[in-house]
Structure 1
């Protein structure tokens, strides 16, 4: 049988209907992003700093840096009056300060590109990008074309969407 988009949609609808009829909750996927730092605290980063997930995935930000507190904060006007760098229909988030081994979760349901940063460490380019959805779509929203509120270091630290999609998760080779 040749699978077409219509077959997949029909099959997906049938699966969803059978799951709904069984009254069982659908398990939600959780993806982990860790906040890391070097032993002396001179370098900090997210691991992974680029991540590709399906809509409905819960992202768990966990602080694994024993020497620093960190945040996971979406670029959005509602949070510190930043330019929006997430899809318009998406809810912005701010984890507040996480101490070592504390975590924060956010569920991303709207397809698109989500850029986020660590409030006290943005200027050291502690930033990350999450791509939610399927293949690259011209209608995707997220990362702003307006780049006057972020430094060149931040812009260069954000990985390309295409690279995130092709590799799934991007990690710094030596923790940098």
Structure 2
């Protein structure tokens, strides 16, 4: 992929080449929608997109397509999970969303990496990652063993999200 411009970001002691800012939402105040998807049998579940890069002040809206889901920030206040959002950020938990079309919104203003999961489907790898502005915070570290293996393997890389702006989920239909 040819990059029009490169900038260097200090990420956890690593210097990575990244493209110019290519967020999913170009202006604060815009809404980025994340679908909570499932195949008809409920065997394959996921967030789509699974990774997004947005500007501070962007509203994120999760919408249920099928099955029962949550969107829950990795934070000790959410079931004792490890901290994987910026320390200054407020964690969120949608509670169970059960009806198709039901939605939950939050506005993210603190720059950094935000990792989140679906409470009933975390072990199946239903996780997502949002980068607000410049990457930073606990979400830059690799997930530890307290996160289920399928979830650890599912997170898109920070570099990929920065390069693409939006990382789509695979295997969840159209």
Name the TM tier (shorter chain).
0.7 to 0.9
**TM-score normalised by structure 1 residue count:** 0.78
Following superposition of structure 1 onto structure 2, how do residues 1-176 of structure 1 map, counting pairs within 5 Å? 28-65=29-66, 68-99=67-98, 100-134=100-134, 136=135, 140-143=136-139, 144-145=141-142, 147-175=144-172
Are the equivalent residues in 2 in contact too, given 1:115–1:142 (CA < 8 A)? no
- How far 1:146 sits from its partner (Å)? 5.7
Cα shift at 1:151: 2.1
- Bigger fraction of residues in helix: 1
**Matched length:** 145
> In the alignment, is the contact (CA less than 8 A) between 2:143 and 2:152 conserved in 1?
no
- Greater fraction of residues in strand: 2
Compute the RMSD of aligned alpha carbons. Answer: 1.7
Q: Which runs of 5+ in 2 are unaligned?
A: 1-26
Q: Secondary structure at the match of 1:58?
A: strand
Q: Which structure has the larger Rg over C-alpha atoms? A: 1
